[in-house]
A and B are shown apart, each in its own frame.
Chain A
Amino acid sequence: METLGNATSNALFLLISGDAELWKIVAISFQVSITAILIATPPALLTAFVLAYGKFPGRRVLISLFSTLLSIPAVVIGLTLYLLLSRQGPLGEWRLLFTQTAMILGQIALSFPILVAMGHSALQSADRRAWETALTLGANPLHAVATVMWEVRFGLLAALLAAFGRIVAEVGASMMLGGNILNYTRNIPTAIALETSKGDFSQGIALGIVLLALSFTLNALFYHLRGGGQPA
C-alpha cells in the first residue's frame, strides 16, 4: 500500500511533469463542462429573467419547481437521461449514449436549475428602475434585458461559478451517461472514481488538486473582479 505522503508526492510529480494522460482528462473535463455552461446559460438566464420580471399564471409554481430541482441528485438526472438516450429509450435513435454530447446534456440538466434559481434571485435584487430606464432610453427589450443583467453581473457570475463548480465535480451522471471512456468521456471526477477503485491514488490526488486549484482560482477571480468593479 502506498502511503498518503507517497501518493501525494507522486501526484505532484504527475502534475509537474505534465503527464499527458492526466492533462487529457483535465482537458476533457473543461471541454465538456464549459460547453454545457455555455449552452445552458443563455436560456437559463432568460428563464430567470422572465421569472423575475414577468407576470403570468404559474410563475410562482415554476420558481418553486426550479428550487426543488436544485436538490435533485445528479444520479437521478443521469438515470433519467440514460433511459431516454438508450437505444431502448424514446431518444435511442440519436445514438447519444456514451458520448460527450450525452455528458453535456446531463451537465446542462444539472446546471440549468442552479443558473435559474441563483440567476432569479440576483435579477430580483436588481433595481426595477434599471429595466424601465433602459426601455425609456430607447433600448429594445433584449438590450434592456442585457442592461439589467449587466447591473447584477456579479450575482450572475456567482450563479455561473456555482453551476460550473457543480458540474465539473459531478461524478454520477457523467459516469452513467459518458461511460468513463478513456480519452473521450473520462473526466476528472469519473477518473478519480476509477483510479481510486484501481487503488492508484496518486492520479486521483493529482486530479483532486486540479479541481481544488480550479475552484480556488475561480473564487479568487470572482472576488478580484468584484473588488475592481465596485466603489469602496
Chain B
Amino acid sequence: MIESPLKLHFNDIHKRFGKRHVLIGANIQLSGGACTVLTGPNGVGKTTLLRIMAGLEKPDRGSIDMGLGATRWRRCYAALRTRILYLHQHPYLFDGSVSSNLAYAISDKHNRCLCQQRIKEALKWAGLTAIAENHAKTVSGGERQRVALARAWLREPRALLLDEPTANLDPEARTRTLELLFRLKESGIALLIASHDPHHFASLADKHLQLTQGILAEELSDNTNVTPFRRAHS
C-alpha cells in the first residue's frame, strides 16, 4: 500500500434509540493490518457501532480522528464511506450476475480491459470463477459471503467492518471465509469483526472487545480480567 498504515480513532461515541442507551462513550480504533473482534450478546448494539464507523448511521455524539485532528461525524461521514467498507450480516448482492456485482466495486471503469482483468483476478482470489456468470440472487450463503468479500477486495478499503460473517455458514464455507479474511488482513486492511461467537476468529484476532449495556471494554486474552478500554491511543 502506498498510503501509510491506517490509524483511525473513534472517541466518545454515544447513541441511543428512544430511552435505550446503545453506546455510552465508546472508544475504538482501527489500525491497518490488525484484526479486532467485537463480541457481545445479540441485539446489544454491535451492528450500530459498525454502521456508525462506516459512515452509514449518525451517532448522537462523538468525534472521529482520521489523522488530522478530531472532527464531528457529520463532517466526515463521506470520508468514512470512502475508506471503510461495511458488510451486512447477510451481504446484499445487486440484481445481476456475480461478475456484475464485482464490477460495481471498481470505481474507475474507463479501462474496460483492465476492469475485466481485475474482475477475473477477484473471481480467482475468492474461488468464484465457476459461478462468475450465475445470477447473484441464486448463489448459496457461503458463495454470497465470498462474492461480498471479493467485492470488498476489489474496492480496496482501508478498513473492513464485518457483521457476523460466519453466522449460518457450514464449516467448510466458514473455513473458506476465514481464509479470505486472513488474506485481507495480510494485505494491510484493518478488520473489525462483530460476532456473538468470537471463538471462530481466535486465530485471526489481535484484540477482543466486548460490548455490554452500552459499555465497550477490552477483553483480555485470558478471558478473566476485563478492564475498560478507554483512550488507549492517547
Partner-B contacts on A (CB < 8 A): 127, 129-130, 132-139, 147, 150-151, 229, 231
Closest 4 CB pairs of A and B: A129-B92, A133-B92, A136-B86, A231-B135
What are 22 sample pairs from A and B whose C-beta atoms fall under 8 A apart?
A129-B90, A129-B91, A130-B92, A130-B94, A132-B51, A132-B86, A133-B88, A135-B81, A136-B56, A136-B85, A136-B86, A137-B85, A137-B105, A137-B151, A137-B155, A138-B81, A138-B82, A147-B104, A151-B94, A151-B95, A229-B95, A231-B137
Closest CB-CB distance, B92 to chain A, in whole Å?
4
Q: What secondary structure prevails in chain A residues at the interface with B?
A: helix
Closest Cβ–Cβ distance, residue A133 to chain B (whole Å): 4
Task: Give Cα A133–Cα B82 distance, bound, in whole angstroms.
Answer: 12
Which residue from B51, B88, B95, B107 sits with its C-beta under 8 Å from A150?
B95
**Across the interface, which residues of A come within 8 angstroms of B190, CB to CB?**
none
Return the contact of B56 from the options A135, A147, A151 (Cβ within 8 A).
A135
Q: Write out the residue numbers on chain A whose beta carbons fall within 8 Å of the beta carbon of B56.
A: 132, 135-136
Q: A129-B92, A147-B94, A151-B94 are in contact. Are A136 and B54 (CB under 8 A)?
A: yes
**Residues on the B chain within 8 Å of A132, using CB:** 51, 56, 86, 88, 92
B192: interface (CB < 8 Å): no
Query: Considering only CB atoms and an 8 Å cut-off, how many residues of chain B contact the other chain?
Result: 23
A129 touches B107 (CB 8 A): no
Count of inter-chain pairs, beta carbons less than 8 A: 48
Q: Which residues of A contact B91 (CB under 8 A)?
A: 129, 133
A151–B93 Cα distance when bound, in Å, is 10
**CB closest chain-A residue, reference B77:** A135
Residue numbers in A under 8 Å from B138 (CB-CB) = 231
- CA of A130 to CA of B95, assembled, Å: 10
When chains A and B are docked, how far (Å) is the Cα of A150 from the Cα of B85? 22
A138 touches B86 (CB 8 A): no
Return A228 CB to nearest CB of chain B, in Å. Answer: 12
Q: How far is the CA of A231 from the CA of B134 in the complex (A)?
A: 10
Within the complex, what minimum Cβ distance (angstroms) separates B211 from chain A?
21
> Which among B135, B137, B155 is the interface contact of A138 at CB below 8 angstroms?
B155
Contacts of A127 in B (CB 8 A): 92
**Closest residue on chain A to residue B138 by CB atoms:** A231
For residue A146, give the distance in angstroms from its CB to the closest CB of chain B: 11
**Complex Cα–Cα for A89 and B196 (A):** 67
